[in-house]
Structure 1
Amino acid sequence: MKLYHGSNIEIMQPDLLRSKPFKDFGQGFYLSPVYEQAAKRAKQMTELLQEGSPVVSVFEWNEQDTTGLNIKVFDDYCSEWAEFVLANRDRDRVHPIHNHDIVIGPIADDGVTYQLRRYREGDITMERLIEELKYAKGLTIQYFFGTERALSFLNKL
């Protein structure tokens, strides 16, 4: 399976130490199975950082060969997924909050921080939180590679 990573630079070898903490599934290397989504992310990163140029790095992952990997899959938006995102984005918790090598599941909408705060403060229910976190463009899946072992299963194309 081809997976794409959008950035302002070419990624030859993912480096978990350069990954940002407090993301949907934790600190790790994120990829998309959709080229256009990665290209959009590359453009966003370039504009945000105001350096480099949009680049989509392409990787191959043989999802049939997952020997010894701890993989968590969220097939759709649900309360378990929302709680997982909430925990990974919680700056007051000890991280990492899970031991999965790879997590596959929906992307939270860009307003995630605001919506999580509303939920924590009791302003919205879990059901409303799930609705608010759904990506505006529909169900879009992301792939999180969070360990060196997981990264060893990716091949740069």
Structure 2
Amino acid sequence: MILYHGSNIDIKEIDLAKSRPYKDFGRGFYLSADKNQALRMAEQRTSILLEGEPTINLYEFDEKLLEDSSLRVLNFGEYNTEWARFVLKNRDINTKQPCHNYDIVYGPIADDGVTFQLRQYKAGMISLEQLVNELKFSHGITFQYFFGTELAISKLKKI
């Protein structure tokens, strides 16, 4: 399968040390099977940094590896409370990172307003179930692939 990564540059080599912490699934390299989602991320990244051009980096990935026992894979097939707890834990700046040891995590993207929603949940203003509904991506369900280890990165082939 082809996976896309939106950026403001062409990525010659993936460097996990350049990944930002406290993202949905932790510090890692994020990709999407949805080219339009990757383009939106590239445009967002470029507008935030005010440099570069929206760039989509393409990678080939054998999805059979998601079933490979040599990789630690976590799969969230839908928005649910387990997914929400996982996102909460990874986005919590008071939690020691990394807070999991998965090579690859697959699951829904949290909506851009996630910080506000997390604060409401932590303050007891909304329930966990309400949090799940609020974190759903506003453009419909869109999934992301997280590659968090060098082993996982080695399974990607730049196209």
TM score, norm. by length of structure 1? 0.98
1:46 matched to 2:46: yes
Q: Cα offset for 1:67?
A: 5.0
In the alignment, structure 2 segments of 5+ residues that lack a partner are none
**Counterpart among 81, 97, 100 of residue 99 in structure 2:** 97
Classify the secondary structure of the residue corresponding to 2:102: coil
* Amino acid corresponding to residue 143 of structure 1 in structure 2: Y
Tell me which stretches of 4 or more aligned residues in structure 1 moved more than 2 Å: none
Give the 3-state SS of the residue equivalent to 1:64 in structure 2.
helix
Partners of 2:69 and 2:102 in 1: CA distance? 13
Identity %: 54
* 1:90-132 residue CA offsets vs partner (Å, 9 max, x unmatched): 0001111111000000000000011001000100001110010
- Extract unaligned runs of 5+ from structure 1: none
Distance across 2 between alignment mates of 1:36 and 1:125: 32
3-state DSSP of counterpart to 1:116: helix
Distance 2:127 2:64 in 1: 38
Shift of 1:11: 1.0
Alignment match, 2:116? 114
Question: What is the count of residue pairs matched by the alignment?
Answer: 157
Q: Secondary structure at the match of 2:14?
A: coil
> What TM-score results when the alignment is normalised by the length of structure 2?
0.97
